[in-house]
Amino acid sequence: MAPKSDNTEAIVLNFVNEQNRPLNTQNAADALQKFNLKKTAVQKALDSLADAGKITFKEYGKQKVYIARQDQYEIPNNEELAQMKEENAKLQEQLQEKKKTISEVESEIKSLQSNLTLEEIQEKDTKLRKEVKEMEEKLIKLREGITLVRPEDKKAVEDMYSDKINQWRKRKRMFRDIWDTVTENFPRDIKEFKEELGIEYDEDVGLSFQAYSDLIQHGKKRGRGQ
């Protein structure tokens, strides 16, 4: 079922404003297929928005090209633009450092053997949690800064971060399976045995797997809102 006319216009207007670049009907229709909007409905919405002055357009022969109204955006002055470029350069450096760190983490993960001992799993898990925390701190800096990093680069970094979270989840599950097997029908006090081995759960060191995992959804919501 296709959206109603008013809702269609709202979807199309939001898309045009988010893109903020010249668009023809086909561009918009292709991108808005996920909303079950047909090309005729998109064309009608674009014309209606243009007639209402909510977007602008230019005609090139028989084709119309639509663009968001530029008076709704703040245009930086030369000083602000220079500052943005400087901050962008810093963000690019941080991004390259992050890619290098992630590459090193990936190499480390690939080197892990499938039959790790309980002590090795605990050691690798601690190291991985530390690396994930460092990556999360760098991500926060990227997200709080002026987002001049290319969208595809940002997505690649967030995809890699998501992969590390999945690795963390697998390691937690692997440890829990081994630990449950070792301690099943164990005659001694489990807590004392855990302390004797020097094993610490995430919560013991003030880490929350769920908090780091939630950052992935937070980033997606923020991305849609920008």
Tens of pLDDT along the chain (226 residues) come to: 555 567 999 999 999 999 989 999 999 999 999 999 999 999 999 999 999 999 999 998 888 999 999 888 777 778 878 888 888 888 888 889 888 888 888 777 776 655 667 777 788 888 888 888 888 877 777 666 645 567 777 788 888 888 888 888 888 888 888 888 888 877 888 788 778 888 887 777 777 777 777 776 655 555 554 4
CATH architecture entry for 4-68:
Orthogonal Bundle (1.10)
Q: Among 127, 125, 124, 116, which Cα is nearest to 178's?
A: 116
CA separation for the pair 126, 43 (Å, rounded): 55
- What is each CA distance from 175 to 120, 125, 179, in whole angstroms? 10, 9, 6
Q: Is 185 left (phi over 0), alpha (psi -120 to 50) or beta?
A: left
**Unique residue bearing structure tokens 């968001």:** 68
Q: Among 12, 102, 24, which Cα is nearest to 58's?
A: 24
SS3 80: helix
